[in-house]
Copies of this chain bind each other. A is one copy, B any other.
Amino acid sequence: MDTAPVLSTIAVLGGTGKEGKGLAYRWAKAGYRILIGSRNPEKARAAALEVLGLLGDKVFVEGTTNTRAAELAEIVVLAVPYAAHRETLESVSEALQGKLLVDVTVPLVPPKVTKVQMPPAGSAAQEAHAILGQNVQVTSAFQNISHELLFHPEPIECDVLVTGTSKEARQETLKLVVAAGLTGWDAGPIENSVVIEGLTSVLININRESGSTNAGIKITGTHSGSTHYIAL
């Protein structure tokens, strides 16, 4: 009898981008079934093959449209550029009802990407919640992780702050953080998303000042030492 736990199916919308593909890679490796979504299903299938090429055929990764990925998954991760944020959410809103959306989007406004410039809703995550309605739980996470580091198996020295519309949604998202090999922290209600999303501009600023490319943050000073793992 097979007693291995059945892990959820995760749709990564915009999973052909660097951030999305990196997350898909890490979650597939952890045993989740992954649907990479894109407006262009051919590109989605190519990204799925790229992940499979690294992990072999014991993992489940498929490419399809954003809509179909959102329909088939229990958890939906939004990793599109901010310019496609609203349009993508509107196109999958029906499929998302009753599910959890993890918003990875950073609302950068080029060319001033070192300056925090939030949408009128207060943050991309709050904007997502306004578009999707009260029947969708929304969390915000992973904005501060360098996408160059995600698509490799090495440990990443950057913690993940998670905000969200309910404690349950944040706990569910913290499981995904741990599954991706990272340390996560419950950073409070969805209104706190401005801090996480805005921190990306601060880190870009620090990268420019210090000549680095992978500035991140670690939470310090807690009783459990410098890291705090949430149990799966």
Contacts and interface: CB of A to CB of B under 8 A. Distances in A.
A182 to B, nearest CB: 12
Contact of A212 (B114, B116, B221): B221
B189 A114 contact: yes
B116 A191 contact: yes
A212 B227 CA distance: 13
Interface of A: 114-118, 146, 157-158, 161, 185-189, 191-192, 194-196, 198-199, 201-203, 205-207, 209-212, 214-224, 228
A216 B194 CA distance: 18
Contacts of A194: 116, 118, 194-195, 198
A120 to B, nearest CB: 13
B215 A222 contact: yes
A205 B191 contact: no
Chain A, interface SS category: mixed
Given A187-B205, A205-B186, A210 B192 contact: no
Closest 5 CB pairs of A and B: A214-B221, A188-B205, A195-B198, A212-B222, A210-B222
Contacts of A161: 202
A195 B202 contact: yes
Given A194-B116, A215-B219, A218-B217, A202 B188 contact: yes
A111 to B, nearest CB: 14
A187 B206 contact: yes
B195 A115 contact: no
Contacts of A115: 188-189, 191-192
Interface centre among A191, A194, A195 (most CB of B within 10 A): A195
B185 A220 contact: no
